[in-house]
Amino acid sequence: MSWEVFNVRTKPVNREYIHTGARTGIRKVFQVRRRRVFLMKYTTCLFLALAIPVVLFSCKKEPPPAEEEPEFMVGGDISMLDRINDFGGVYRAGGVEKDALEIFTDSGYNFARIRLFHTPNMQGGTVQDLDYVLQLSRRVKNAGMKLLLNFHYSDTWADPGKQFKPAAWEGLAPEALEDSVFAYTLRVMNAFAARGITPDMVQPGNEISYGMLWPEGKLDGNTPAEKAAKWDQFTQLVKAGIRGIRESEGGAEIPVMIHVAAGGDQQVTQWFFDNLLSRGVVFDVIGQSYYPWWHGTLEMLASNIEYMTTAYRKDIVIVETAYQWKGTYPREGDYSHYQPYPLTARGQYDFLRRLYGLCMEHPSVTGLFYWYPECIRLPEEAGLIYFDRSLFTEEGDALPGTGAWQPGP
């Protein structure tokens, strides 16, 4: 806008016709007009001085709201809970009988991890077929918790010492085995989606430090060429599982975890993930098991976390851990080489509290899960034994460790 718009010009006066008597009047007219012009200019300047900041202020964009920090995952592998309840298992906190999931959520747990076997024998601890897992997952979601689904790709337990193929997949050629992994994963994921209980995170394989679906996916071999070939075959199986997750209903955005058992072992961690990533496996989260009697000291765990943070730039979850409160099972000797706290209820709490603090010191660690916290003693026909690594007594009373992973001193 030009200032000339506000420069009011008066019509020129023909001084030839102005007599002396009229000059005074004309002078007054000019004086009035000058005052009017001055007032108009002053008012305009004042208006602009006030208006421009208002306009600029009103046009200024509000900064976007700060993104909320993702909630730290506090969870437990509660895969046996329905089986325990079916055999009459009862839980109490503070002497009051409660649903175990209520005790966990009251203690700050926001995630549950559930394992899935392909075709289990439905005996003892291997009862987690698809129907069982769907039912327990519904219960978890109804309790307001999120779900981490753990594919074992086996009819029974899979861990670093054993990774048996499902019987239904025996004798398949490598390409057919990959197709089976993909189709099975896709079918399972879609079954969850159809029921409105889509998992919030998925791991294709359990503790696959040395491969899965042995012998085809076992990471062994005598020569460098054989070892490389086995790595290639293993990663194709992992990719098939991930593809089944990604192509399922709603699966494109689900975080995928790769889970190994090397919490305090940097050498195994580096060997595994360097080989995995060099073969183009795309995933989101590193899952580590950390049992101190198997996987090293807390200082070794902290060092490995720092290495993974720098080397891989991914979220890290301690997806399995536990600590004894009695030291009676499996055998006392299993824990003797590294026992940072006494094997008592207080010692269990103190260990879990320290582990939680260690995780809080490393922003790359986004979650912490306890393995089999719901264990209690059941009748012999249940086929389950009592682990002293539980967060409950044999009678079902919550130990102090249930509340160890909450913010605060």
Which residues are identified as catalytic? 207, 320
DSSP-derived 3-state class of residue 11 = coil
Check: CB of residue 323 under 8 Å from CB of residue 352. Answer: yes
Contact predicate 111/73, CB 8 Å: yes
Size of the chain in residues = 409
156: Cβ contacts below 8 Å, ≥ 6 apart: 117, 120, 121, 126, 164
CA-to-CA separations, 308 to 189, 281, 365, in angstroms, rounded: 29, 16, 10
- Residue 64 per-residue DSSP state: P
Q: Which pair of tokens denotes residue 38?
A: 């001055």
Integer angstrom CA distances of residue 160 from 28, 121, 261, 384 = 106, 21, 7, 22
Rounded Cα distance, 44 and 56, in Å: 18
CA distance 227 to 296: 27
Cα separation, 123 vs 118, in Å, equals 14
DSSP 8-state secondary structure symbol assigned to residue 263: T
